[in-house]
Structure 1
Amino acid sequence: MEEKKHVVVRIADELGYNAQELFNEVRDACFKGKQVADSRVFAFLAQCEKTGLDPLSGEIAYMEQGGTWRAVIMSDGWARIASRHPDCAGYNTECIWENGKLVGARCTLHRHRWTHPLIHYEYMEFCQRNTPPWKQNPARMIQHKARNQAIRNAFGIGRVCDLDEWENIAENVEPEKKQTEKSREEKVINPSGQFKSDIFLAIEAAQSVSDLDKIYHAVEAEKETVPQDDYHAIAQRWMEKKVMLDNGGSIEHGQI
């Protein structure tokens, strides 16, 4: 806890805030009224300190989707990381055109003491999304993708993403969440008595250990959809048949 408090103090000193005032301001401004634990605010501030970004300037945000939180660096934040890094010797980003068609972008980033620059490529085929920014400014967007990834790779920026990446994650999480909820709604509980009756008939017809094993696996596969009382009744009947078969010979291990 002391280390968490120290993070707040260090950032507050750098920005000219009182530590408690900064903590409260970040909670209000960056989490937009969401009820979050103090530990969540501390985690965000730790990312701010790690990247050297100001949590109140719009350079970095902390976003949640489907219970997952991630530090999201905005366009100005990536530029600030590069400009403030002591080893950054500049970068250049340009579009790649083929037969008059925009196909991608590359960013060439130089670091002091490096004999060769880092060159990172991004391609429209893999990055372009059906969103207003990509439709209106595709060249700008693909250049930002190349620049952001070059800065990430050159300076080891981890556990963060850019805004476009986050929006893409959110788009994929939401349909998955809806599909999961739909599947739960569509999962119909076996009508009380019907499944039990069918299994009882199968148990009575079982002539061998192998038959009982098959019944066991069939019941376990449907366990979540079987009413609890029916499940216990099936287990009791299964054990009775097991005992009967035991009296007539050996039986492989198996139990509901």
Structure 2
Amino acid sequence: MAYRLEISPTALKNTLANTVFAGCRSEEEFMALIVVANEYGLNPLLKEMYAFPGKGGGIVPMVSVDGWIRIMNSHPDFDGIEFDYHANDNGNIEAIEAIIYHKGRSHPIKVIEYLDECKRNTDPWKISPRRMLRHRALIQCARVAFGFSGIYADGDEGEVIDMTPQQAEPKSLPSHQSIAEQIDDEVPNFDKETGEIGGDQKPKRDAKTGMTEVDEETARRLDAEQTAEDIDGRTEDDDDAKEESPSDAKLRQIRESIDAAKNIKGLKAVDAEWVNARAAYDDDTAKKVDALIAIKRKELGE
């Protein structure tokens, strides 16, 4: 998303976490909204999408009418929309029907929304009831026509079900741990003042076992070594214990691709791949990879 919006990943995350996604109480909720925004090409900074608290807790992705218009107009099969206004005997609008033309279908999709079912006791509905009803009809028709799912619209608040009946107690967003580090089996200690890994921090002791994190790592390594008689005869369990994490594998592959690049075109392809993966790594790792790319670019004469 940072690459698409032309902003640094760190700046984007901090901005979203303090504005439209401020309601998120965990990294998982935050990332769920990011995935939805990327799936539909929405820009949260333009208020096309925001976090909405679901019943009973949790966060659901709420899309504004501007966001729905964007994803509808971006759909390759969208071929136009019309509105049919239905008035009662007194000439007052009581329903609006949205009609969307789909390139892949012989008949248009029609959805009608009634004012008495949609109207709410809010200022927008009091001031502009017909415009609000038209927005409602547009959104519901777009949802039916193109199968948009996983998102809610302004006015859907009453339909937002309890999204978190089985979720654990939410945790606050981590300040130093990156997504990649959470995927790994172990998370290194961070100096809270400098943000550096390691330092003089003492390893934490587990209250139940009385073992420190270092003790547990040592125990796992010794246990793995005992399963093999020698290096050539190590067992499958030992190999699994030493298997690198997905994030480390991706980082190794990118570094190898940088080193193997034979021309600027090949290096640009690696650079593009790195841009997409960069947000998953801490700033120190990201700076090192950026430096490798810069050095390789000079070697290739750019």
TM-score (norm 1): 0.58
- Tell me the alpha carbon deviations over residues 111-170 of structure 1, each in whole angstroms, 9 at most, x when there is no partner: 11221110111111221222222221111111111100011111111122112222x458
Q: Which residue pairs with 2:166 in the alignment?
A: none
Q: Higher strand fraction: Structure 1 or Structure 2?
A: 1
Asked whether the equivalents of residues 17 and 24 of structure 2 are also in contact (C-alpha less than 8 Å), the reply is no
Provide the C-alpha distance between the structure 1 equivalents of 2:39 and 2:144, rounded to a whole number of angstroms. Answer: 15
Aligned ranges for residues 58-207 of structure 1 at < 5 Å? 58-65=47-54, 66-99=56-89, 100-166=91-157, 168=158
Structure 2 counterpart of 1:150, one-letter code: C
Provide the C-alpha distance between the structure 2 equivalents of 1:158 and 1:169, rounded to a whole number of angstroms. Answer: 14
Q: Does 1:49 align with 2:38?
A: yes
Change in Cα spacing, 1:35 to 1:90, as seen in structure 2 (3 Å) is closer
5+ unaligned residues in a row in structure 2: which ranges?
Answer: 163-302
Provide the C-alpha distance between the structure 1 equivalents of 2:100 and 2:121, rounded to a whole number of angstroms. Answer: 29
Provide the C-alpha distance between the structure 2 equivalents of 1:26 and 1:132, rounded to a whole number of angstroms. Answer: 27
**Residue 35 (structure 1) shift:** 6.5
5+ unaligned residues in a row in structure 1: which ranges?
Answer: 1-10, 174-256
- RMSD (CA atoms): 2.0
Provide the C-alpha distance between the structure 2 equivalents of 1:94 and 1:59, rounded to a whole number of angstroms. Answer: 26
Structure 2 counterpart of 1:39, one-letter code: E
Q: Which residue pairs with 1:17 in the alignment?
A: 7
Structure 2 counterpart of 1:47, one-letter code: V
Identical residues among aligned pairs (%) = 28
- Tell me the alpha carbon deviations over residues 32-84 of structure 1, each in whole angstroms, 9 at most, x when there is no partner: 3x562222111110110122211211001111144131111101111111111
Asked whether the equivalents of residues 45 and 55 of structure 1 are also in contact (C-alpha less than 8 Å), the reply is no
SS at match of 2:156: helix
SS at match of 2:81: strand
Q: Higher helix fraction: Structure 1 or Structure 2?
A: 1
Bigger Rg, which one: 1
SS at match of 1:157: coil
Number of equivalent positions? 160
Change in Cα spacing, 1:104 to 1:76, as seen in structure 2 (3 Å) is same
Structure 1 counterpart of 2:67, one-letter code: G
Provide the C-alpha distance between the structure 1 equivalents of 2:71 and 2:123, rounded to a whole number of angstroms. Answer: 26
Asked whether the equivalents of residues 73 and 162 of structure 1 are also in contact (C-alpha less than 8 Å), the reply is yes
SS at match of 1:30: coil
Structure 1 counterpart of 2:52, one-letter code: M
Q: Which runs of 4+ in 1 moved over 3 A?
A: none
SS at match of 1:116: coil
